[in-house]
Amino acid sequence: MAKVLVSSCLLGCKVRYDGNNLEVNTSEFDEFIESNDIISFCPEVAGGLPIPRIPAEICGGTGNDVLDGSAKILGKDGSDVTKAFLNGAELTLKMCLDNDVEYAVLTESSPSCGSSSIYNGKFEGVKVSGKGVTCTLLENHGIKVTSQHQLARLKI
């Protein structure tokens, strides 16, 4: 059994910004969860953000730009939540390193968890190519990340 860190909101935990979880509803996902050693984790809650919380987007770049300090993560109300997101990303990495986790399945399009797409930073509901800050940090440390939509990419 491979150890896999999975976004808590995909596992029925009501930790999203709106106080809900995110249903996956595919037999492929259910089988994946049953056949691996799953560690549930939510970077944003770990980073100190409340449930519910103001929706946030990466403004002016991608997760990589947030990590190097050239972009911020802002709430829809203009609040700067970059520090909490970075804190959550660091704690997610620590969880992986402490538990020898080599794989992660993270929720697509989240400013933390997105692995192929994120929102464009204008709160228009428009997605663009890019990765979230937690996904980027994990990948920078050799952890293989995919989303709930592309489980086969992990090649476990």
Residue numbers at the binding site for ligand SF4 (CB under 6 A)? 7-9, 15-16, 42-44, 107, 110, 112-113
Residue closer to ligand SF4 by CB (options 42, 73) is: 42
In the complex, least distance from residue 28 CB atom to ligand SF4, rounded to whole angstroms:
19
Phi, psi of 55 (to 5 degrees): -60, 145
Residue closer to ligand SF4 by CB (options 71, 85) is: 85
In the complex, least distance from residue 131 CB atom to ligand SF4, rounded to whole angstroms:
12
Integer Cα distance of 52 and 14 in angstroms: 9
Q: Which residues pair with 117 in a beta bridge?
A: 129
Residue closer to ligand SF4 by CB (options 64, 134) is: 134
Integer Cα distance of 18 and 146 in angstroms: 23
Integer Cα distance of 75 and 55 in angstroms: 6
Which CA distances in Å does 42 have to 70, 71, 77, 152? Answer: 24, 22, 22, 22
Residue closer to ligand SF4 by CB (options 71, 105) is: 105
In the complex, least distance from residue 13 CB atom to ligand SF4, rounded to whole angstroms:
8
In the complex, least distance from residue 121 CB atom to ligand SF4, rounded to whole angstroms:
16
- The tokens describing 151, both together, are 């489980």
